[in-house]
A = this chain, B = another copy of it.
Amino acid sequence: MADEASPAHDPSDVLALDSLLTSEELAVRERIRDFTDQRIKPDIARWYDDAVFPLELAPELGELGVLGMHLEGYRCPGRTAVEYGLAAMELEAGDSGIRTFVSVQGSLAMTAIHKWGSEEQKQEWLPRMAAGELIGCFALTEPSGGSDPSSMTTVARRDGASDGAGWLLDGAKRWIGFASVAGVMVVWARTDDGVRGFLVPAGTPGVTATPIGRKLSMRASIQCDVVFDGVRLGPEAVLPGALGLRGPFTCLNEARYGIAWGAMGAARDSYEAALKYSQDRMQFGKPLAGYQLTQEKLVNMLLEIQKGTLLALHLGRLKDAGRLRPEQISLGKLNNVREAIAIAREARSILGGNGITLDYSPLRHAANLESVRTHEGTDEVHALVLGQHITGLGAFR
């Protein structure tokens, strides 16, 4: 678009946020946006309707350089946090389910291995994961756990059969993204020493992963119920660097950071769909976009998109400076997903009856964001995290 050349004149970048990005960042964004336009948008309605995750995208996303994008070494792209954020935004402008794949692969599974794994573990898994040749998943949430991982019931015991050097893993996980297609699972389980992470390769006996069906959200994605029934793991399965909930929580914060960006992508795509429709659709002899009630909606949508994007960028700059704190991520995730879902819903209302089909993106985005809102902490959990931060008093119980 010509607008790209002089960003201040893009009416939808009313705050000229593009002027805050480096040319390298703009180039990365452009590259991901092209990918979304060419590889996601043309087929997403079909994938969503058929409830299919397009596995063929995995290596393409690897080649695009968005898997483990912010990690260094092991053939990872080594990009900045802002660049990773921009990528999440552009991918989620396509579909939250695709962005979720990138988050699970890069922010959760690869980050866990990169941060807490041994050199051997990193060498074994990360290069293939960065290339999208192998899919990873991250098994933390449990059926009755929800926002309370401290109640974990999945247990890893020292395995007597292997001289106590190996492990015996039992339990169940739920809402585990891409578990049924994963080549390796990062599984968090309670041990005598506290919570630890384990790498469980695909095909390990005793592991079953069943995709959750009849979904009204994230249909172009995969979430599974996973059961571990007497799973025998060798001593090399454990992630040596992680002990306690700080291990998985660090990864969740990585994912939340990407969500804060990604949600704004879904919001922007919803806004753009509504803007275009309102400019084309005539009512009582003039475009819908020419009515006060429509303009008020569009303005409020755009205003929150711009504020949310400015917020995400601020978080990204803090992250690249090594100063991003968990409560800041909570604020970004809480705000940006909440606003994104409101924007997608409002966009849909502009589309009239036509907005209920997959021919238009806003209702799909709104449905997807229901999952995003819950993943990695609901609004309530993040509000109480922040509430404790600012008042010094816990109100969780």
**Among the listed B294, B334, B353, which residue makes an inter-chain contact with A175, where contact means beta carbons less than 8 Å apart?**
B353
Bound Cα distance from A126 to B356, whole angstroms: 32
**Among the listed B14, B148, B318, B389, which residue makes an inter-chain contact with A386, where contact means beta carbons less than 8 Å apart?**
B14
Of A61-69, A109-117, A242-250, A325-333, the one contacting chain B is A325-333
**Among the listed B289, B293, B310, B390, which residue makes an inter-chain contact with A275, where contact means beta carbons less than 8 Å apart?**
B390
Chain B CB within 8 A of A28 CB: no
**Among the listed B299, B370, B387, which residue makes an inter-chain contact with A383, where contact means beta carbons less than 8 Å apart?**
B299
Contact with B along A322-362 (1 / 0, CB 8 A): 01010110010011000000000100110011011111000
What number of copies of this chain does the assembly contain?
A: 4
Bound Cα distance from A148 to B353, whole angstroms: 13
Known: A45-B214, A284-B397, A294-B387. 7 other contacts (CB 8 A): A20-B314, A146-B281, A292-B293, A293-B380, A298-B390, A355-B374, A363-B367
Interface residues contributed by chain A, number (CB under 8 Å)? 96
Is A352 a contact partner of B275 (Cβ separation < 8 A)? no
Among A217, A287, A334, the one with the most B-chain Cβ atoms within 10 Å of its Cβ is: A217
A→B interface (CB under 8 Å)? 8, 11-12, 14-16, 19-20, 45, 49, 141, 144, 146-148, 174-175, 212-218, 275, 278-279, 281-287, 289-296, 298-300, 302-303, 306-307, 310-311, 314-315, 318, 323, 325, 327-328, 331, 334-335, 345, 348-349, 352-353, 355-359, 363-364, 367, 370-371, 373-375, 378-380, 383-384, 386-397
Taking the nearest CB of chain B, how far is it from the CB of A225, in angstroms? 11
Is B356 a contact partner of A215 (Cβ separation < 8 A)? yes
Please give, as numbers and ranges, the residues of chain B lying within 8 Å of A327 by CB-CB distance.
Answer: 14
Taking the nearest CB of chain B, how far is it from the CB of A21, in angstroms? 13
In the complex, 29 of the A-B residue pairs with CB atoms within 8 angstroms, ordered by the A residue number, are A14-B331, A148-B284, A214-B357, A214-B358, A218-B356, A275-B391, A279-B391, A279-B393, A284-B396, A287-B391, A291-B292, A291-B395, A292-B293, A292-B384, A295-B384, A295-B386, A298-B391, A299-B383, A299-B386, A299-B387, A303-B334, A307-B310, A348-B370, A352-B378, A356-B367, A356-B370, A356-B371, A363-B370, A367-B367
